[in-house]
Amino acid sequence: MKYKILKGIREIQKRKPEFLKSSYLKSKIADIFFESWLERYKKSFILQKSSRILIISMEALGDNVVKTTSIKKISEYYGKENIYIMCRDKWECVFNQLGYNVVGMQKIKNPIKNVRYKIEFFKKLNELHFQKVILLDHLSDGKILKNLISNEKIGISNEENKYMTKEIRMPEDKWYVLDRQSLIVNELLKQSFTKEDLRPDMREMFKERKYSDIISIGIGASSEQKTLPIKNMSEILKMLSERYPNKKIVLLGNGKKQEYYSKQLIENCNCKNIESYIGRISLIETIRVINDSDFFLGYDSGLSNIAFALRKKYVCLFWTDMTVWQHPFDDLKIIKGDGVNPENDGYHGTDILNSIKVEQVEEALKELKL
């Protein structure tokens, strides 16, 4: 019943008109102020010649790690010392670990404070005098490009984009994420990279192994509809505990919701070899744990894409028939249910996800020879 109440509250919040939200007026005023400043700033700015190139990647963690080989190809072509990556500040540590120049942008909720921050941020960014700006986001309207001054602004677009000097149109059949990346990388470098060529590889992040005899489990995702009800996930964890009694099963994630979720899982399972690392280790250490694991199991999430980028064998419990993030490689298994008789709690998952059977996970482990 508790989860049904939470779902109801979430649905009510979604339906609330934008103009009734308390921050609406403040946001409108802040936007007008920023646009006025930007117009004056552009008129007075003189772009100087340099070799610097900015890659914009403002999407979620999973999107960022899936781009790592594409970024590496671009940096090899233009010189890694010339490449700067703009991303959300909470992912900055990942690109720093990979040796890039990184410009992390904060997300400030207060509209007034945010506009002050944006003015200082884009002043400093433009003072680096980028000759080329590459928008590497998979789905973006490109509006962020208007804040940058450069001779060339290039990115993928579904329709005419006034913020780009060069648009790369995405064909209707190019929906898989690495196919999208190949469009822009091939245009930039005048080569013919396939999705296999651009498969991410972050194994260079760690030279030595720190953990042993562990199985890593990603228990979170960007929304509750991508995660299983406690009962369903507990059954999978119990099976893993029995199947691998000499391995430590480590629960990974971030935030209070996932801390609560992991606590419930541990209580339900009552297995001595299951332990939560949530709230105890940093993002980089979480990536290290996945890197050192025997294998990974999780949802459609950033951590699953980290396992993908670390070339780990993994099982992904999938929530939809959409194919954008269904990686077509043999060393991983994407599992979906048939949608029949799903185990629902009124809050977590979808019919496709919640109808996954433990037997499907066991079969996937056998196919991966785990």
Span 255-290, pLDDT tens digits: 999 999 999 999 999 999 999 999 999 999 999 999
According to the model, what pLDDT value does residue 26 have?
82
What is d(CA 57, CA 104) in angstroms, rounded to the nearest whole number? 10
What is d(CA 87, CA 98) in angstroms, rounded to the nearest whole number? 14
Same-domain pairing of 140 and 87: yes
According to the model, what pLDDT value does residue 1 have?
45
pLDDT-derived band at 161 (thresholds 50, 70, 90) equals confident
Q: Residue 226 class from Cβ within 10 Å (0-12 exposed, 13-18 middle, 19+ buried)?
A: buried
Same-domain pairing of 155 and 292: no
Domain count of the chain? 2
Same-domain pairing of 151 and 260: no
- On the question of pLDDT at 6 being above 50, the answer is yes
What is d(CA 237, CA 103) in angstroms, rounded to the nearest whole number? 39
Q: Which of 200, 221, 241 is the last residue of a domain?
A: 200
CA atoms within 13 A on the CB side of 121: 19
Give the mean model confidence (pLDDT) for residues 60-82: 96
Q: What is the mean pLDDT of the chain?
A: 91
User: Of all helices (H) and strands (E), which one includes residue 179?
Assistant: helix 177-189
Same-domain pairing of 218 and 137: no
According to the model, what pLDDT value does residue 23 have?
66
Same-domain pairing of 195 and 211: no
Which tops the pLDDT comparison, 112 or 53? 53
- On the question of pLDDT at 17 being above 60, the answer is no
According to the model, what pLDDT value does residue 118 have?
96
Same-domain pairing of 156 and 232: no
Percent of the chain with pLDDT strictly greater than 90: 79
25-34, 45-54, 353-362: range with lowest mean pLDDT: 25-34
What is d(CA 279, CA 220) in angstroms, rounded to the nearest whole number? 13
Summarised one tens digit per residue, pLDDT across range 207-239 is 999 999 999 999 999 899 999 999 999 999 999
Report the Cα–Cα distance between both ends of the chain, in Å, rounded.
37
286: containing domain: 207-367
Same-domain pairing of 241 and 313: yes
* Domain assignment present for 35: no
Quickly list DSSP for 319-364: --S--TT----TTEEEE---SSS----SSS--HHHHT--HHHHHHH
- On the question of pLDDT at 10 being above 80, the answer is no
Determine how many CB atoms are found less than 10 A away from the CB of residue 111.
18
CATH for 84: 3.40.50.2000
Cβ-proximal residues to 66 (8 Å cutoff; 6+ apart), any chain: 177, 178, 181, 200, 305, 308, 309
Same-domain pairing of 261 and 184: no
Contact predicate 153/168, CB 8 Å = no
pLDDT-derived band at 310 (thresholds 50, 70, 90) equals very high
Same-domain pairing of 126 and 192: yes
φ, ψ for residue 316, nearest 5 deg: -110, 125
Contact predicate 125/137, CB 8 Å = no
Residue 210 is given by DSSP the state -
- Angle (CA) 308-169-84 rounded to 5° is 55
State whether the Cα torsion 77-78-84-87 is positive or negative: negative
Same-domain pairing of 213 and 361: yes
pTM above 0.85, yes or no: yes
Contact predicate 361/296, CB 8 Å = no
What is d(CA 130, CA 81) in angstroms, rounded to the nearest whole number? 13
CA atoms within 13 A on the CB side of 88: 13
Calculate helix-pair angle for 230-243, 256-269, nearest 10 degrees: 60
Summarised one tens digit per residue, pLDDT across range 92-148 is 999 999 999 999 999 898 988 999 999 999 999 999 999 999 999 987 788 999 999
Q: If you average pLDDT over each of 26-35, 91-100, 162-171, which comes out highest?
A: 91-100
Same-domain pairing of 360 and 231: yes
Same-domain pairing of 240 and 186: no
* Domain assignment present for 211: yes
